[in-house]
Structure formats: C-alpha cells, structure tokens
Amino acid sequence: MSPRVAILGGTSAIAVAVARRYADRKARLVLVGRDLAALEREQADLLVRGAEQVVLQQADFADLAALPEAAQAAWTAFGGLDLTLVAYGSLPEQAECAASAEAAAAALALNFNSPALLLGELANRFEAQRAGVIAAISSVAGDRGRQSNYVYGAAKGGLQRFLEGLRHRLHPAGVAVLDIRPGFVSTPMTAHLPQGGPLWATPEKVAGDILAAIDRRKAVLYTPWFWRFILLIVRSLPRPIFHRSKL
C-alpha cells in the first residue's frame, strides 16, 4: 500500500522537498496550509512526480481554535495516516519580540502552542491506531537560550520537550516520534540572512536526512549531522564563557 502522509505546513521549502521524495514513493499526500494557490501548484508538481493522490486543505495554524478540525480533516482524508510532518513556523525578530508582547505572543503561539495542540490532537488518533510516525521540525535554536533569538528558541525548546513526552507516551503503542533539528537551511524563512558557507544546507539535503530518520524511526535528528556536535559544544560552554559570546 502506498504510504499515507500528512504535511502540516505544506508550502514550507523543507516540506516541499520532503513531499517530492514521498511522491517518488507513490505516496498519498494531504497538504495543509494557508496559501491554496501555492498548494495547488505543488499538488500538480507532485502528481507529475508520481504521487498516487494529493489532497489539499486550507488552514491558518495561528488560529488555535481551528486546529482540532484541521487534525480531523487530515486524519480522515485517507482513513488514517502512516506519517504526519509538522513543518510550519516563523522566525521572528528577537528585538521586536523584546519590545512588543504582542509580537512575542504571536511567535510563541505559532512556534509552540499551535504545533503542540495540533500534535496532541493527532497523537490520540495515532495511539488508537497503534502504528505510524509523528515528525515535527523544531530547531537547533531550541537547545540553548541565546540572546539573539531566545523567544523563537524557547518555543522550539518547548516543542522539543513536548515531542519527548509524546514519544515516551506513544512508545507502548508502537508510534515513533521524531524531533527534527535543522541548522541553517536556505529557505524563504532565512532569505534575509547572509547565506553560503559550510554551515548552510539546502532543503533537499535536509529532506534526505528527514526521510532516512523516519525510515529508521529515529527519535532526534540533527541535520546536517555536524550540528549535533556544534550544539554539544554550545550546550556545554560554561556560563562565564557563554556570556562573553554574541551567539
């Protein structure tokens, strides 16, 4: 049977690269996002690439009250799911979040509350099904609070803890939970940053790592691999040294 895959945040550049790989595997895909025109272009592309079926659903993930309905629609499109990937998010300006509680609240809600609530809805269904993989993109930014992006980092760190707890809960049901922690990836989200150099990866490279981690039912993925070691160092820097850095 072709795999049933729901991608929440279907227009994310990383998600598009993942979806293309599942199209190669003749998957049935549910793409959920707010930009229907972009989703339709992606749907046409994925069908040409070999996807068996591509169903579209419109949702604004900042609308927390609408999440239960979005989860239900994604779950029922093919009568259950083998994989769900949560791939949406925003990269807020730290200075703006420090100056405005409204900006901080929006960033925290989209990057933590929303995926946590959505995954909570889906987790109950995966648990009852007793099979499948839940994957979500957090970030290396969640590994240690840093002056340059601690609101985003706190939301992603919270998501990491949520996924850890979900993994613990769903283990007896045979459901795997994957926490994906990319470093710098060249996507629209990072288009305003100076790019290039060995630390930057393409969405295609990250997508390859994500599929391999899903296939192996891994718990935590740093992608590309070297971020595991960079973050090991960042996390273990003694505070007096860390405080002298501008990380």
Ligand X SMILES: NC(=O)c1ccc[n+]([C@@H]2O[C@H](COP(=O)([O-])OP(=O)(O)OC[C@H]3O[C@@H](n4cnc5c(N)ncnc54)[C@H](OP(=O)(O)O)[C@@H]3O)[C@@H](O)[C@H]2O)c1
Phi, psi of 155 (to 5 degrees): -65, -45
Helix (H, G, I), strand (E, B) or coil at 184: strand
Select from 65-73, 100-108, 187-195, 213-221 the region that touches ligand X (CB under 6 A): 187-195
Q: Please spell the DSSP secondary structure of 195-216, one letter per residue.
A: --STTEE-HHHHHHHHHHHHHT
**Does the active-site annotation cover 152?**
yes
Distances in Å between the Cα of 14 and the Cα atoms of 7, 123, 161, 233, 243 are 11, 22, 22, 26, 33
Distances in Å between the Cα of 73 and the Cα atoms of 15, 55, 59, 108 are 19, 10, 10, 25
Of 36, 103, 173, 189, the one binding ligand X by CB under 6 A: 189
Q: Is 71 in the site for ligand X (CB under 6 A)?
A: no
Q: How far apart are CA 198 and CA 109, in angstroms?
A: 32
Please, what is the minimum distance in Å from the beta carbon of residue 182 to ligand X?
Answer: 4
**Closest among 177, 4, 167 to 80, alpha carbons compared:** 4
Start-end of H helices in 109-242: 114-129, 150-170, 203-215, 227-236, 239-242
Task: Choose, from 22, 88, 150, 152, the residue flagged as catalytic.
Answer: 152
Q: Is 14 in the site for ligand X (CB under 6 A)?
A: yes
Q: Is 154 in the site for ligand X (CB under 6 A)?
A: no
Select from 46-54, 83-91, 122-130, 208-216 the region that touches ligand X (CB under 6 A): 83-91
Q: Is 108 in the site for ligand X (CB under 6 A)?
A: no
Q: Is 221 in the site for ligand X (CB under 6 A)?
A: no
Select from 4-12, 45-53, 121-129, 170-178 the region that touches ligand X (CB under 6 A): 4-12
Q: Is 122 in the site for ligand X (CB under 6 A)?
A: no
Q: Is 13 in the site for ligand X (CB under 6 A)?
A: yes
Positions that interact with ligand X (CB under 6 A): 9, 11-14, 33-35, 38, 60-62, 87-90, 110, 137, 139, 182, 184-185, 187-190
